Chain A
Amino acid sequence: MATTQVPPPGRTVIEDPRTRRQRPSGQRSKTNFELYAWLFMRLSGLALIVLVLGHLLIMNVLDGGVQRINFGFVAGRWSSPFWRTWDLLMLWLAELHGANGLRTVINDYAERAPTRFWLKMLLYSSAVLVLMLGTLVIFTFDPTIG
């Protein structure tokens, strides 16, 4: 696609689906990263519907809500490998799903290149922090601490 569409005054042209996007640099992306990101959002979304809605139902209704929650409650729950696996899977899928969502939001609204770059660095740093800290806590939880 060599021609660039110029919108007539006062009109926005929305490209047909599957139109190849012209990059400002004129180069085509060498990978299908955006396709895999799009697919990941749908697959992780399906899994998260079960993982997160189940988690919210159990924690907020079936187990009596935040009133019941304390260190002993967490220790009881994480004595089971099933719930530790559930929480680990939920942590990774939710954080990656959310980080990719915010990446899209930053790309949409931050127009200056340095702003986009630094906002995304902040986003990726926070995602790495959350994933590492959460994983560490699930794997090294010690019910006899303190």
Chain B
Amino acid sequence: MAKPAGSLYRGREGMWSWVAHRVTGVLIFFFLFAHVLDTALVRVSPASYDSVIDTYKNPIVNLMEVGLVGAVLYHALNGLRVMLIDFWEKGTRYQSQMLYAVVAVWVVIMVPGFYFMMLHTLQSMFGSA
């Protein structure tokens, strides 16, 4: 099947960055729904809020937090890329290079980010340094 010319959004970097933008966006939206509901418990009572937050204090939820931050960070960086494609005159020409820049910046932030976010879990599992 011939590839239609003139679209950023068919195959390769253009399409996969768009797919990842959608998937992360939908995930973040559902997280936000849960996050507003759990925080709203501060209006009910300190005990109900604290009891729900306590269920988050374990390694599995800690790992999910890292996943959330990774999703938000990708969505933010790729959102900047989308704005540059829209508003920068050379944006479409460099769209795939900009995706590699997005991935590079993501890795550079997420590696120390993983360490600092997991510090408490790592210390509780392997002893504090």
Q: Is the CB of A53 within 8 A of B53?
A: no
The one of B4, B26, B80, B117 in contact with A105, judged by C-beta atoms closer than 8 angstroms, is: B26
A51-79: which have CB < 8 Å to B?
A: 52-53, 56, 60-61, 64-67, 69-72, 74-75
Which size class do B's interface residues fall under?
35 or more
Q: Is the CB of B79 within 8 A of A133?
A: no
Residues of A within 8 A of B79 (CB): 45, 49
Known contacts A71-B49, A146-B45; A130/B36 CB under 8 A: yes
Known contacts A14-B4, A56-B69, A102-B26; A45/B56 CB under 8 A: no
The one of A67, A71, A91, A140 in contact with B120, judged by C-beta atoms closer than 8 angstroms, is: A67
Bound CA–CA A98/B53 (angstroms): 24
The one of A14, A52, A66, A141 in contact with B43, judged by C-beta atoms closer than 8 angstroms, is: A141
B60 on interface, CB distance cutoff 8 Å: no
Q: Is the CB of B53 within 8 A of A46?
A: no
B76 on interface, CB distance cutoff 8 Å: yes
Q: Shortest distance in angstroms between B33's beta carbon and chain A's nearest beta carbon? A: 6
Q: Is the CB of B49 within 8 A of A70?
A: yes
B128 on interface, CB distance cutoff 8 Å: no
B1-21: which have CB < 8 Å to A?
A: 1-2, 4, 6-7, 10
4 interchain residue pairs of minimum CB distance: A71-B46, A98-B29, A146-B45, A45-B79
